[in-house]
A and B are shown apart, each in its own frame.
Chain A
Amino acid sequence: MIRVKDLDKSFNDKKVLDNISVTFEAGKTNLIIGRSGSGKTVLIKSIVGLHEIDSGEIWFEDIPFNKLEFNDKKEIRKQMGMLFQGSALFDSLTVEQNVRFPLDMFTKKSPEEKAERVNFCLNRVDIINANKLFPSELSGGMKKRVAIARAISLNPKYLFCDEPNSGLDPITAILIDELIKELTEEYKMTTIVNTHDMNSVMKIGEKIVFIHEGVKCWEGTKEEILHSDCEILNDFVFANALAKQLKSSEKQK
């Protein structure tokens, strides 16, 4: 479980997150949704400690993460995996070396054990015969899957995904969403996914938090999101033409 309390974050006097309090549940796929520029990425990066917060608290179980020193944070970070928006694979390393990197850095496994783990993670995300390729030789969807393999290589307790299906075609996006959900259930991770894709919300969302202009406006489940009274949320959820038509026909009935 991850708990955020009264979190504030500003950049150059511009408030980006305003008094955010939310609990992300263990073993579930928690979604942060909102328009581009609403503060989703800043929130997820603040939670993992990539941004220093102005005030508030971030708890991983019963550990006050934001109060820890750099070296103490390392121990928690070893339990985290993160999928970045642009995948953030290391350009100079091959697929295999990318996935092995956390194992090389933080474990004392033998080369054989590492190779076995790397192959297991790559197989798990359906990357076959690409061990020796460099990130520049992969498609967008493959990069995301390799990044997921790297994120799960240390068996993390917490998985963070920043716009996991941005820039992907709808079918690949669904595959990535399904993979995240499967892994969350399989490893009983606390997963937080940033997205503005309503397909993802309906497909994998278990707990959903809606952020608008840095303020948490709504939280609930995917069943509740369709019947919310929050106008800003409805504008977001039913933004596309098809959804609007469905909503108005439902009202007429």
Chain B
Amino acid sequence: MINFLTQLGRYVLLLKKVFSIPEKPSIYYKQTMHEMNYLGINSIGIVTIISFFMGAVITLQTAYNTENPIYPTYLIGLGCRDSILLEFSSTIVALILAGKVGSNIASEIGTMRVTEQIDALEMMGVNSASYLILPKIIATFLFNPFLNLISIIVGIIGGWLAGTLTGVITSEDFIYGLQYAFIPYYVTYSMIKTVIFAFIITSVSAFHGYYVEGGSLEVGRASTKAVVYSSVMVLLFNVILTQLLLS
């Protein structure tokens, strides 16, 4: 318990350092653009592939579980839409990004720590926490909603293709299901979750990288810890946010 509180305290103190006034905003702007490319654009591929197959599987599973004739077939489209909007495009994609982006951040910052690059920044009078972490937080905060949007669109396309190509649903029924009883707030809900998950993944992973002590073995361990802790935090906050935003 004491260890948990100590780590929590260090995390809060790190965030305080991260959100202090930047030395030179123009440099931070450049860094943020670089991180958007590195952490955001480079993740489009994996998000697209996962979302496509996720949508396809959701459609097929919904179809096989609603074979009873009393259920209208357009429910398959509705089920695919709501599953993707409410859960899959935000939470599952966040878990995938915790693996990809989280390990990347922890190992990058951890390596900088053990090779004294962070000391070199501090030595020059640069707030290393802010310089290294703030652009990553801003970049994911701004870019992850686009990833979420891509995931929603590609997921629905995947579901539509799987449904129509296997013949479990007609294109008209699927599209009718997509439009039926649509609640626009679900998109807002999904976006809110995405930005909060983006913050969790980036800050938790950066925390594990920033405080690495030792050598390459410890950097590897920090990277694993970053993925595990940020995934658990995403799942925990998923429950909290669902209760807060949908109840």
Contact = CB atoms under 8 A, between A and B. Distances in A.
Interface stretch (A79-87, A109-117, A233-241): A79-87
A128 interface: no
A77 B125 contact: yes
Nearest to B114: A86
B116 A85 contact: yes
A50 B119 CA distance: 7
A89 B127 CA distance: 17
Interface string A91-103: 1000000000110
Contact of B115 (A50, A70, A88): A88
**Band of interface residues on A:** 20 to 34
B126 interface: yes
B116 A86 contact: yes
A228 B27 CA distance: 52
Given A88-B115, A105-B23, A105-B24, A82 B120 contact: yes
A102 B131 CA distance: 13
A252 to B, nearest CB: 46
B236 interface: no
B7 interface: no
Contacts of A75: 125
Secondary structure at the B interface, as helix, strand, loop or mixed, is helix
Interface in A9-66: 45, 48-50
Interface in B1-50: 23-24, 27
Interface in B109-123: 111-112, 115-117, 119-120, 122-123
B124 interface: yes
Nearest to B30: A104
Interface in A115-168: none
Given A86-B115, A88-B116, A50 B123 contact: yes
A140 to B, nearest CB: 14
Contacts of B119: 45, 50, 84, 88
A77 B111 CA distance: 24
A106 B23 CA distance: 8
Contacts of A78: 124-125
Nearest to B124: A102
Contacts of A88: 115-117, 119-120
**Band of interface residues on B:** 10 to 19
B124 to A, nearest CB: 6
B116 A84 contact: yes
Given A88-B115, A91-B117, A82 B123 contact: yes
A84 B125 CA distance: 15
A82 B115 CA distance: 14
A97 B24 CA distance: 16
A105 B126 contact: yes
Given A104-B27, A105-B24, A77 B123 contact: yes
Nearest to B26: A104
Nearest to A51: B119
A73 interface: yes
B27 to A, nearest CB: 6
A218 interface: no
Nearest to A108: B24
A74 interface: yes
A158 to B, nearest CB: 11
A106 B125 contact: yes
Contacts of B123: 48, 50, 77, 80, 82
A129 to B, nearest CB: 24
A50 B122 CA distance: 7
Interface string B126-142: 11000000000000000
B169 to A, nearest CB: 49
Contacts of A86: 115-116
Interface of B: 23-24, 27, 111-112, 115-117, 119-120, 122-127
A-B residue pairs, 3 tightest by C-beta:
A77-B125, A74-B125, A88-B116
Given A50-B119, A88-B115, A105-B126, 14 more contacts: A50-B122, A50-B123, A70-B127, A74-B125, A77-B123, A77-B124, A82-B120, A82-B123, A90-B112, A91-B115, A91-B117, A102-B124, A105-B124, A106-B125
25 contacts: A45-B119, A48-B123, A49-B122, A50-B122, A74-B125, A75-B125, A77-B123, A77-B124, A78-B125, A80-B123, A82-B123, A84-B116, A84-B119, A88-B116, A88-B120, A90-B112, A90-B117, A90-B120, A91-B117, A101-B124, A105-B124, A105-B126, A106-B23, A106-B124, A106-B125
Interface of A: 45, 48-50, 70, 73-75, 77-78, 80, 82, 84-86, 88-91, 101-102, 104-106
